[in-house]
Amino acid sequence: MQKNRTAPAASPRALGRSLSRFSACLLAAWSIAWADEPRGAAPAGAAAAAHADPWWKHAVIYEIYPRSFQDSNGDGIGDLNGIAQRLDYLEALGVDAIWIAPMYPSPQVDFGYDISDYQNVDPQYGTLADFDRLLKQARAHHIRVLLDMVLNHTSDRHPWFVEAASSRTASRHDFYVWDDGKRGAGAKPLPPNNWVSLFGGSAWQYVPAVDQFYYHKFYRQQPDLNWRNPKVEQAMFGAMRFWLDRGVTGFRLDAITTLFEDPQLRDEPALGGTNAQGDPNLKNTYTDNLPEVHDVIRRMRAMIDSYSGGRLLVGETYVPNTSDLDPWYGGAKRDELQLPMDTLVGLGNKLDAALFRQRLMEAETELHGSQPLLVFDNHDNIRSWDRFGDGGHNDRIARIVAALLLTSHGAALIYQGEEIGQRTVTPTRVEDVQDPIGKTGWPKDKGRDGERTPMQWDISNAQAGFSTSAHTWLPVPPDYRTVNVRTESADPESLLNWHKRLIALRRSNAALRNGRTVMLDQPNASVLTYARVAPGGETIVVSLNMSGKEQSVSLGARAAGLAGTRCRTLLSSPAGLEGRGIGERIPLPPFGAWVAAVE
Ligand code: NOJ
C-alpha cells in the first residue's frame, strides 16, 4: 500500500475444510458455463475480433469496499446482501467485474485485511450461503467476482498464529517470520534490525512465550507469513482453490510485493528524515520486491490457469517506475499476473499533460505488450476528485480523469463512488477516527477514513440510502443531497452519466478496445491528445485540456498517419463542443475534454 496523502484535506481450517466432491463438481460445471458467456450483443468486424481476447483485457473492474457499499440489515455496516441489491446498478454502469475488499472473518483491526479464517465470511458481512447467492446473482448480471487475497500476513488471531506463538516447537511456528533479536548481557532483547512497519513503529514484536520477535510489515496484529516455508504456499493456495472452486473468477493480491524478506535481516538503508508516523524514512531494499516472490507467482498463475473460464490475478503493485511493472507480468513470458495495477498514471497529485503522456507511452513500450490496468482511486488513497481538483473546476477535472481512465489502452479500475464524484471526507477530530493509522499518526496522518465513507445512493434518508441505521460506521458526508446515484442518474449531463457513456463507448468501439495509441500534439504542455487506431483503421481522438485556460490543439493527424478528414464529436465536456476538420486547430475550453471519431 502506498498512501498518497500529500493532497489537501486530504485458519488452519483452510487445510481441513473443503467442498464435498459432489458440490465441487457442480460448482466447476457452473463456472465453466459462466466462463465463456459473452456480455451483451456481440460487436461486428474488428470489434468482434477483439472479442477473441480474454475478457479481462478490456475489463472495467469496480472495487467494492464492502463495509461502505450497501447495508442490508440496518447495522450501519455494508454487507454481501447489500452488494447483491446493487447489482442492477453495476450492470447498468457497465462493469465487467467487481473486486470485493476482504469480507472474511477478521478482528477488523485493519478492516478485513487481518484475516482469521480464509474460508468463510465474517458474520458482519453475511454467510457463505449469502456469498454463493451473490456469485450466482452477479453471474446473472454478467458480472464476475474477484476476491481480495491477503497472502503477506494473517491476523494475530488466526489459529495458525495462535499456535505459532505458543511455543518454538509448535508445528506451525515456522509459518511466520521469527527472530531472537539482539541480546546484550542481561538486557531486554532488542529487535534484530531497523525495519519499521508501514503503519508505524518497529516492524518487530516480542512474544515472551517464545522469547522471540515476529515480523509485521503492517499492524502488529498482522504477522507476516513465512513464504520460505513450502507449507505456507500449500495452505494459501488451498484457500485460493476453496474460492475458485466456488466460482470466483480470481483475486486481487494484497501487498503482493512484500511476500519475502531478506533472510539475513540486513538493516534497510536510511533515506533521511521521518515519515508521518514519526519513523525514519527507509529504503525498502530488504523487505519489498524480493526476487523470490516471482517463483510463487508463476506457480500461482499455473494453478489459476488449471481452471477454465478466464481466471484472473490482479496485483497490488506499487512500483517506482513503469518498467518495474514488467516483471510482475512475467516479462516477455507473461506467466505471472495478468493485471498488475499501474498506479503510476493515476495516483499522482498533479494534472500534468506531459507526465501523463510519458507514463501512457511507457505503458505502451516497457511492458512487452502486456495489458496495463490503470488505477486512479482506491480505499487507501485520497480520492482523485481531491487530488487533481483545483477547487473551481473539480467536476470538469473528474471528467478528464474518467476519460483518461476509460479511453486509454488497457483495463480500468473504478473505486466505488469515483463515478459520482464522491469526495474525501477526512475526520476533523481524532476521537472520530476509525483507521488505526489515523489515530497514531494524528494530525500528520489522519488515516484512510476519508476515502472510505459510505456510498451515496439517494436522498431517501440521512444515510444516503446506504443504511437504515442512524449510526453508520463512518458518517455519511452531508453533500449526499446533491452527490448521489439517484440524482445523477436523472441528469443526462452528470458525472455518473459521463462514466456510463464512456464505458458504453469503450465496449462498442474497436479502436478504444484494441487500437494502438498514437500521441498527437506532443509539444503541448497543457493538453494531452492521443488517437486510438484500430487495426482496421477506425480512429478515435481524445483531447484533454489539463489547464484552467482555453487552449487550442493541432492534431497533426496527417503527419501521424491518420486517415480521414473530419472529427465527429462523440462526447464532450462541457457538452456541445463541435466537430472539426482534421487539419483545423481545435479550441478546448478550460479543463475541457473531447472524444471524437475520425471520419
Ligand atoms: C493494502 C490494502 O489495500 C490496505 O487497505 C491494507 O491496510 C494493507 N494492504 C495491508 O493489508
Where do the domains of the chain lie?
56-152+230-489, 159-215, 515-598
- Tell me whether the CATH fold assigned to 159-215 matches the one assigned to 515-598: no
pLDDT tier, 557 (very low <50, low <70, confident <90, very high otherwise): confident
Tell me how far apart the alpha carbons of residues 584 and 543 are, in angstroms, rounded to a whole number: 14
Lowest mean pLDDT among 14-18, 229-233, 466-470: 14-18
Lowest mean pLDDT among 3-12, 193-202, 235-244, 469-478: 3-12
Q: Is 380 in the pocket of ligand 1 (CB under 6 A)?
A: yes
- The full length of the chain comes to 599
460 versus 35: the higher-pLDDT residue is 460
pLDDT recorded at residue 2: 57
pLDDT recorded at residue 24: 36
pLDDT recorded at residue 32: 37
Lowest mean pLDDT among 38-52, 339-353, 455-469, 520-534: 38-52
pLDDT tier, 421 (very low <50, low <70, confident <90, very high otherwise): very high
Residue nearest (by alpha carbon) to ligand 1 atom 6: 113
pLDDT tier, 186 (very low <50, low <70, confident <90, very high otherwise): confident
Please tell me whether residue 26 adopts helix, strand or coil conformation: helix
Q: Is 341 in the pocket of ligand 1 (CB under 6 A)?
A: no
Contact between 555 and 587 (Cβ < 8 Å): no
Nearest partner of 422 among 453, 468, 448, judged by Cα: 453
User: Would residue 37 show up in a list of annotated catalytic residues for this protein?
Assistant: no
Tell me how far apart the alpha carbons of residues 178 and 226 are, in angstroms, rounded to a whole number: 9
Catalytic residue among 316, 342, 435, 445: 316
Contact between 88 and 97 (Cβ < 8 Å): no
Nearest partner of 460 among 476, 447, 440, 473, judged by Cα: 476
What would the pLDDT profile of 315-365 be if each residue is shown by its tens digit? 999 999 999 999 999 999 999 999 999 998 888 899 999 999 999 999 999
pLDDT recorded at residue 445: 95
pLDDT recorded at residue 45: 47
pLDDT recorded at residue 558: 87
CA torsion, points 141, 142, 148, 149, in degrees to nearest 10? 130
pLDDT tier, 41 (very low <50, low <70, confident <90, very high otherwise): very low
**Residue 508 phi, psi (nearest 5):** -95, -10
- Which stretches of 336-463 are DSSP H helices? 353-365, 384-388, 394-407, 436-441
pLDDT at 575 over 80: yes
β-partners of residue 532 are 517, 540
Distance 181 CA to ligand 1 centre (A): 27
Task: Kindly report the pTM of this predicted structure.
Answer: 0.93
pLDDT tier, 258 (very low <50, low <70, confident <90, very high otherwise): very high
Mean pLDDT of 504-512: 97
pLDDT recorded at residue 449: 98
Question: CA distances (Å), 569 to each of 53, 329, 576, 598, 599, in order?
Answer: 28, 36, 8, 9, 11
pLDDT recorded at residue 51: 58
- CATH topology for 515-598 is Immunoglobulin-like (2.60.40)
User: Would residue 316 show up in a list of annotated catalytic residues for this protein?
Assistant: yes
pLDDT at 29 over 90: no
What would the pLDDT profile of 373-412 be if each residue is shown by its tens digit? 999 999 999 999 999 999 999 999 999 999 999 999 999 9
Tell me how far apart the alpha carbons of residues 119 and 17 are, in angstroms, rounded to a whole number: 8
β-partners of residue 206 are 213
Residue nearest (by alpha carbon) to ligand 1 atom 8: 1
Q: Is 296 in the pocket of ligand 1 (CB under 6 A)?
A: no
Tell me how far apart the alpha carbons of residues 487 and 492 are, in angstroms, rounded to a whole number: 10
* Cell 498464529 -> residue: 161
Q: Is 71 in the pocket of ligand 1 (CB under 6 A)?
A: no
pLDDT at 10 over 80: no
Nearest atom in ligand 1 to the alpha carbon of residue 316 is: 1
Rg (Cα) of the chain, in Å, rounded?
A: 24
- CATH topology for 159-215 is Oligo-1,6-glucosidase; domain 2 (3.90.400)
- Average of per-residue pLDDT values in the chain: 92
Judging by DSSP bridges, how do beta strands 539-545 and 527-533 pair with one another?
A: antiparallel
Architecture, CATH, for domain 56-152+230-489 = Alpha-Beta Barrel (3.20)
Tell me how far apart the alpha carbons of residues 92 and 29 are, in angstroms, rounded to a whole number: 27
